[in-house]
């Protein structure tokens, strides 16, 4: 039930933003998880927004070579490829 999962993911993300802040690793995981779900639902634009947010925050807080940052790079690259933006995915 992807819709039911989306409700729970949004609830978790809102609570983490409120209690932990926008740059906490757990909040960034929730952003990424919701992005994954949106991609699975076919909302590639919504997923891209979240993937870009997670990537920017992870680069800022964890650095360019942290495993979580690299995961965000991979997620966004895969999404861009799925959207047909092969040039953007290759960068």
| 28-77 pLDDT, tens digit each | 999 999 999 999 999 999 999 999 999 999 999 999 999 999 999 999 99
Rg, Å, the chain Cα set? 13
Q: Judge whether residue 11 has pLDDT over 90.
A: yes
> pTM to 2 decimals?
0.90
All residues at 6 or more sequence positions from 28 whose CB lies less than 8 Å from its CB, including other chains: 54, 57, 58, 61, 68
Nearest C-alpha neighbor of 77 from the set 91, 67, 63, 59: 91
């Amino acid at each position: 039930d992807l819709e039911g999962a989306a409700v729970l993911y949004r609830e978790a993300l809102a609570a983490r933003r409120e209690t932990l802040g926008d740059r906490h690793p757990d909040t960034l995981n929730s952003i990424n998880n919701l992005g994954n779900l949106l991609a699975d639902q076919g909302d590639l634009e919504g997923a891209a927004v979240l993937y870009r947010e997670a990537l920017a925050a992870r680069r800022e807080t964890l650095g360019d070579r942290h495993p979580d940052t690299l995961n965000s790079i991979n997620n966004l690259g895969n999404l861009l490829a799925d959207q047909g933006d092969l040039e953007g995915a290759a960068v």
